[in-house]
Amino acid sequence: MMRIAYISLVILFSILTCSFGQVVKDSLLANQLNGMAYIDQKIQEDILIASTDSAKQAITQQMQQIFDFNCKRIKEVFQQQGYPGWDRVGKEASHNFWLLVQHCDSDPTFQQLVLRAMKKHIEGNNADKGEIQKKDYAYLYDRVQRNTGKKQLYGTQLSFDSKGNLFDSTNRMIIPQDLADPANVDKRRAKMGLEPLEQYYEKALKMFGRPRKKE
């Protein structure tokens, strides 16, 4: 039942968000990607505002089902046509494809394949077109590294302490334990169009909340 309901939501959202003004080769795929991404983000927002642990647990289970469904679909897209660029699906949908890949953590091999395709794109003849943002590549690179037990380069994958806080009780930023060469992380982040690591964590704190100081 959930699968049928989810597909119906994607179709409905795709119809309602049919974009005008930007000519793309595959508007049907573009709208589908945008619809899946909308639901992907909505379910995560629902977790943040859930009032009880049991509600969060139930939503988390739904979220994983959504991630799995989306992952299956975008694998099909990638196998058939590779990474969908701006010329095929438009800027928003192309970015949303990347977003959905980020949440295919159950299949890091697939994430690696997409990462290689992105690397060729940003380093190849199409690099000047900007069809793939360097910061998106950085996020997926770190995601793959963490999912395969290796060290991040950019610190995009957040680290939490034992109480689930981004900062410790003295409000000192927690440097990810799986971060390679922490001293030069901000230099690497700047090259990829990312803000300094501490600013990034501050943004995350606004979403997740700042830990209380010890009395």
What residue ranges of the chain have pLDDT lower than 50? 1-2, 4-8, 11-20, 214-215
144 CB-near residues (< 8 Å, 6+ apart) = 108, 111, 112, 115
Joined together, the tokens standing for residue 162 give 């034992």
Establish if 45 belongs to a structural domain.
yes
User: Tell me, what's the pLDDT at 155?
Assistant: 96
Residue 62, Cβ density class (10 Å: 0-12 exposed, 13-18 middle, ≥19 buried): middle
User: Tell me, what's the pLDDT at 12?
Assistant: 45
Q: Output the CA–CA distances (angstroms, integers) from residue 180 to 110, 176, 183, 201, in the order listed.
A: 23, 9, 9, 17
Establish if 17 belongs to a structural domain.
yes
Establish if 144 belongs to a structural domain.
no
Domain that holds residue 26: 2-108
Residue 160, amino acid: F
Establish if 60 belongs to a structural domain.
yes
Establish if 99 belongs to a structural domain.
yes
User: Tell me, what's the pLDDT at 215?
Assistant: 44
**pLDDT, tens only, 54-90:** 988 899 999 999 999 999 999 999 999 999 988 889 9
Establish if 192 belongs to a structural domain.
no
Establish if 199 belongs to a structural domain.
no
Judge whether 149 and 127 are in contact, CB under 8 Å: no
**pLDDT, tens only, 25-38:** 889 999 999 999 99
User: Tell me, what's the pLDDT at 172?
Assistant: 84
Joined together, the tokens standing for residue 210 give 């700042």
Establish if 183 belongs to a structural domain.
no
User: Tell me, what's the pLDDT at 163?
Assistant: 75
Q: How many structural domains comprise the chain?
A: 1
User: Tell me, what's the pLDDT at 22?
Assistant: 55
**Residue 35: which of 63, 71, 7 has the closest Cα?**
7
Residue 13, amino acid: F
